[in-house]
Amino acid sequence: MHMNKNDYTPSETETFSELALNIITRQEHNISRKQISDNALKVLYRLNGAGFDAYLVGGGVRDLLLGQQPKDFDIATNATPEQIRQLFKNCRLIGRRFRLAHIMFGRDIIEVATFRGHHQEPSKNVSQQSKEGMLLRDNVYGTIDEDAERRDFTVNAMYYNIGDYSIHDYAGGHEDLEDKLIRLLGDPETRYREDPVRMLRAIRFAVKLDFDIEEDTAAPIEEMATLLQDIPAARLYEESLKMLQSGHGLETYHLMREYNLFQQLFPTIAEFFTEEYDSPTEQMLDLVLDSTDQRIEEGKRINPAFMFAAMLWYPLQEKAKQLMEKRKLSSYDAIMEASNFILDDQVRTIAIPRRHTATIREIWQLQLRMPRRNGKRAFRLMELNKFRAGFDFLEMRGEIEQGEVKELAKWWETFQNAGRNMRQAMAADLDATSDGLPRQRRRKNYRKKKPKASS
Q: What is the pLDDT along the chain (455 residues), one digit of tens a residue?
A: 333 433 333 333 344 445 778 999 999 999 999 999 999 999 999 999 999 999 999 999 999 999 999 989 999 999 999 999 999 999 999 987 678 999 999 999 999 999 988 755 444 434 455 555 554 444 578 899 999 988 999 999 999 999 999 999 999 999 999 999 999 999 999 999 999 999 999 999 999 999 999 999 999 999 999 999 999 999 999 999 999 999 999 999 999 999 999 999 999 999 999 999 999 999 999 999 999 999 999 999 999 999 999 999 999 999 999 999 999 888 999 999 999 999 999 999 999 999 999 999 999 999 999 999 988 999 999 999 999 999 999 999 999 999 999 999 999 999 999 998 999 999 888 875 554 444 444 444 444 455 555 54
Whether residue 166 contacts residue 65, with contact meaning beta carbons closer than 8 Å, is answered with: no
**What does the angle CA 46 – CA 88 – CA 62 come to, to the nearest 5 degrees?**
55
User: Which residue, among 353, 360, 346, 357, has the nearest Cα to 266 in the 3D structure?
Assistant: 346
Please give the full DSSP string across 27-67, using - where no structure is assigned: GGS---GGGS-HHHHHHHHHHHHTT--EEEETHHHHHHHTT
Each domain of the chain, given as residue ranges in start order, spans 20-119+135-179, 297-432
From 74, 138, 176, 293, active-site residue: 74
From 72, 145, 286, 290, active-site residue: 72
User: Which residue, among 102, 187, 192, has the nearest Cα to 149 in the 3D structure?
Assistant: 187
What are the angstrom distances between the C-alpha of 115 and each of 23, 142, 144, 145, 438? 18, 5, 6, 9, 74
What are the angstrom distances between the C-alpha of 62 and each of 156, 418, 433? 6, 51, 63
CATH architecture of the domain with residue range 297-432 = Orthogonal Bundle (1.10)
Q: Respond yes or no: is residue 152 known to be catalytic.
A: yes
Separation of first and last alpha carbons in the chain: 114
Q: Respond yes or no: is residue 74 known to be catalytic.
A: yes
d(Cα 156, Cα 170) in Å, to the nearest integer? 10
- Fold match, 20-119+135-179 / 297-432: no
What does the pLDDT read at residue 129?
56
In this structure, what are the phi and psi dihedrals at residue 61, rounded to the nearest 5 degrees?
A: -65, -45
From 63, 147, 152, 176, active-site residue: 152
In this structure, what are the phi and psi dihedrals at residue 48, rounded to the nearest 5 degrees?
A: -65, -40
Strand order from edge to edge, sheet including 22-24: 22-24, 167-169, 158-161, 54-57, 74-77, 108-114, 100-105, 91-94
213-265 residue pLDDT tens: 999 999 999 999 999 999 999 999 999 999 999 999 999 999 999 999 999 99
What are the angstrom distances between the C-alpha of 224 and each of 3, 15, 232, 233? 28, 17, 17, 18
Whether residue 315 contacts residue 345, with contact meaning beta carbons closer than 8 Å, is answered with: no
Which 8-state DSSP code applies to residue 122? G
H-only helix segments in 75-121: 81-87
Q: Respond yes or no: is residue 431 known to be catalytic.
A: no
d(Cα 119, Cα 386) in Å, to the nearest integer? 49
**Three-state DSSP state, 170:** coil
20-119+135-179 classified as CATH 1.10.4160.10? no
